[in-house]
Amino acid sequence: MNFGNLKLFYALSCVALCLIILAPTLALVVTFPEGERFSELWILGSNHMTADYTFDVTVNEEYLVYAGVGNHMKSSAYYVVYVKFKNQTESLPNDKTETPSPVPPLYTYYVFLQDGDDWEIPLTFSFSGVSFSENRSLVESLTVNDVAFSVDKAAVWDAEDKGYYYQLFLELWIYNTQSKTIQFHNRFVGIQLNITRTV
């Protein structure tokens, strides 16, 4: 090994040793990029699967899904989950403009989660007061977790897909610590429902 190589080896060794010694101090001063902050929202079918959602529903029969929230915001978070029900003409939330659906919530969950925690709960629903007239159906009442709500939602027969279609969906809202308000968190999930039978 010649003198130039030995000098370079010595300099690199000194730099490496300095970095090892100063690493704890550098960690206090240098801010490294954090992972992505996000929240999860889900609906799973009765067997905790995405493949077994209820689709064709019958009046006065109770159905089960699971609603869940996951916190990956790098801090604790206070969430509000709204259960909503819409017909074919009402709007879902708009993820491009980050605005919630104008459909009023029927049922509300309040959830506080530490970072990395998940929350999941059974959600049951059933329909009553459903009537059919010509090419129109009317749902008068929706029961969510044993609480009945008057909904009075009408749907027109969809000849192409052969059904009267409605949607049960969840919106995720989060408490903003800076503005001290609950705001739409731009997360929503739903299941399509075809109500074609009364018995």
Q: For residues 118 and 48, what is the distance between their CA atoms, to the nearest angstrom?
A: 14
For residue 151, which of 90, 94, 110, 99 has the smallest C-alpha distance?
90
How do the domains of the chain map onto residue ranges? 1-32, 38-197
Kindly tell me the burial class for residue 195, based on how many C-beta atoms sit within 10 Å of its own C-beta (0-12, 13-18, 19 or more): buried
pLDDT digits (tens, 9 = 90+) for 51-69: 888 899 999 999 999 999 9
Nearest 5°: CA angle at 190, between 89 and 130?
55
Rounded CA separation 36/189 (Å):
21
The pLDDT of residue 9: 64
How much is the pLDDT for 95? 87
Instruction: Tell me how far apart the alpha carbons of residues 13 and 23 are, in angstroms, rounded to a whole number.
Output: 15
Claim: this prediction has a pTM higher than 0.85? no
Fold category of 38-197 in CATH: Immunoglobulin-like (2.60.40)
Q: Which residues contact 147 (CB under 8 A, 6 or more apart)?
A: 107
Report phi then psi at 88, rounded to 5.
-70, -25
The list of the chain residues with pLDDT below 50 reads: 26, 32
Question: Residue 141's Cα: distance from chain center in Å?
Answer: 25
The pLDDT score that the predictor gives to residue 32 is 47
Cβ partners under 8 Å of residue 153, min gap 6: 85, 86, 87, 90, 138, 139, 166
The per-residue pLDDT for 161 is 87
Q: What pLDDT, on the 0 to 100 scale, is given for residue 153? A: 97
